[in-house]
Structure 1
Amino acid sequence: MPATDLRFSGRIAGYGTTGGVRIVLGLWSTSPFGSFADAMIEDSRGKRLLLAPTQEIADFISTTYTFDDVEIGTVGWTRLPTGLRFVGGPLDTTLRIGGSSPLGRALRVVPKPVAVNPVWLQTIDPLARVLQPGARTAGSAGNGRREYYGVTGARRITAATASWSGADLGTLARLDPPVRFGFGSAPADPHLVDIVTTVRQPA
C-alpha cells in the first residue's frame, strides 16, 4: 500500500513582537479539514501555545508539533487593504504586508509543480538551512510521518500590532530566537509566505 499525502495550501505569517512574543499564523485555504486558520505562539518565557478552531484540527497539529498548552475556540482572519487582521482566542494581531522580498523573487525561478514536490524539497533542505537560518523544507512530522514545506512566494511583513487579552504585545520584531514547535521554524525576517505543506503518512 503506498504512502498517503495530506496537503495544506495557503499562507504562513511568521514574526516576533518587541514584547518578546513570537507568532506563526497558519491561513489555510484548502486542507483535509477544509479552510481554517490557526496560531502557534511562543512567549518570552518559552511557553508554546496552539490556538485552533476545532478539537480535530488541534489533535492533528499536536501530533505534528509540540505545545505546552492548546486552546480551542473561534479563530479567523480578515483581509485588509494593506494586509490582514487575525483574531483567535486572546490574540488580536494586525499585519501590514509589503512587496515581494528577495527570497520571494528568488522563489519565482522555480516552477510551482517542482517547488512543492517532496523529492525536490528533501533535496534542497540542507541548502535552505544555510540560506534561511531557522527554516527547513523537509523533516519529521512525528509518528513515522514526513513533512515538506513548499514555499512558492514570500512578502515582507513591514509592521505589526498585537495584543493578548487586551494587553499590548509590542510592535514588529524579528522571529528570533527561532520558535520551538517542531522540525522547522520560519525565517528570522518577518515574512508572509505562500506555501503548500505536505504531510506524508506511512503505508
Structure 2
Amino acid sequence: MTHASDAPPARGDRLTLDGHIAGAGTQEGTRIVVGRWLRSPLGAFADVMVERPDGTRVLLAPDEDVAALVTRLYTFDAVHVVDVRVAADRAARTWTVEAGPLDARLTLGGRTPVGHLLSSLPRAVTGSAVTSGLVAGVAAVVLPGVRTRGSGVDGTPERYAAHDQHALVAVDARWGDRTLGGLRPVAPPVRFGFSSVPERPSVTAVHVVVG
C-alpha cells in the first residue's frame, strides 16, 4: 500500500485518519499491531508496530513522513523505514502483511460482541467529541487496557472512535527466518503509547482525531 507524496503535517495541525487497526499476539511472544489507513493527511498507507518478547518496540514505516507522524504520537526503541504492504482479501477474509523482517497472514472471523454494539450505534454517537467521555468509560470496563482518549509522546491530544470490530482467528507469521507460532492474546499489553489494543486479537474500524 502506498500513500500520496504530500508534505508531512506540522505539529499543531488537527489531523484525522480513517482505517483499521489489527492487534495479534503470537505463541513466540511477539505482539503485532497493524494500521491500515485508508484516509489520512498522507494519503493511504500502512504501518506496523511490533513488540518483541524482550520488550523491544519496533516501528516499521513505509517512509520518513509516516515515521515522523507516528513517532510524534508513540514511543519505539527502533524505527525502520521499509516497504510496508497490507493486502486485504475480502473473499478469503485475510490480511497479508509484508513489512521488512515481518511476513504475516491474519485470518478474520466474525463480528465480536463489541463489534455488534459499535455497528448498531450511529457514527454521530461513537465519533462525537461530546460523547467521547462516556465512550471512554465504557471502553475501560469492556476492554481492559484500551483507552480511547489520551495524549501522544509530544503531548498532542488523541481520540479514537471505533465503529466496528471483527475477531482474528488465526495468524501465520515470521520475523526474519523465525516462525512466530500460532495466535495468542495480546498479553502483556503493548507499550507504544497511552493505550493498548484489545487483549483478544481483533481488527477494529476506527476514526482517529489528533490535535
Which TM class, normalised by the smaller chain length?
over 0.9
Q: How does 1:37-52 map to 2 (within 5 A)?
A: 37-52=46-61
Question: What TM-score comes out, normalization by structure 2 length?
Answer: 0.90
Tell me whether 1:7 sits opposite 2:16 in the alignment: yes
1:100 aligned residue (111, 135, 146)? 111
2:146 aligns with 135
Q: CA deviation at 1:56?
A: 1.1
| Aligned-residue RMSD, C-alpha | 1.3
Counterpart Cα distance in 2 of 1:8 and 1:188:
23
Greater fraction strand? 1
Q: CA deviation at 1:133?
A: 0.5
Counterpart Cα distance in 1 of 2:30 and 2:195:
18
1:175 aligned residue (178, 183, 186)? 186
1:16 aligns with 25
Counterpart Cα distance in 1 of 2:153 and 2:206:
20
Question: What TM-score comes out, normalization by structure 1 length?
Answer: 0.93
Tell me whether 1:77 sits opposite 2:81 in the alignment: no
Counterpart Cα distance in 2 of 1:64 and 1:122:
21
Name the SS of the counterpart of 2:180 in structure 1. Answer: strand
Name the SS of the counterpart of 1:170 in structure 2. Answer: coil
Tell me whether 1:199 sits opposite 2:185 in the alignment: no
Extract unaligned runs of 5+ from structure 1: none
Query: Post-superposition, which runs of at least 4 consecutive aligned residues in structure 1 deviate over 4 A?
Result: none
Counterpart Cα distance in 2 of 1:167 and 1:23:
15
Give a deviation string over 1:54-81, Cα, whole Å, max 9, x none. 1111011111000000000100111232
Could you tell me the percent identity over the aligned residues?
38
Whether the aligned pair in 2 keeps the contact of 1:100 and 1:154 (CA below 8 Å) is: yes
Extract unaligned runs of 5+ from structure 2: 1-11
Number of residue pairs matched by the alignment: 198
Q: CA deviation at 1:4?
A: 4.4
Question: Cα distance 1:133–1:180, how it changes in 2: closer, same or farther (>3 A)?
Answer: same
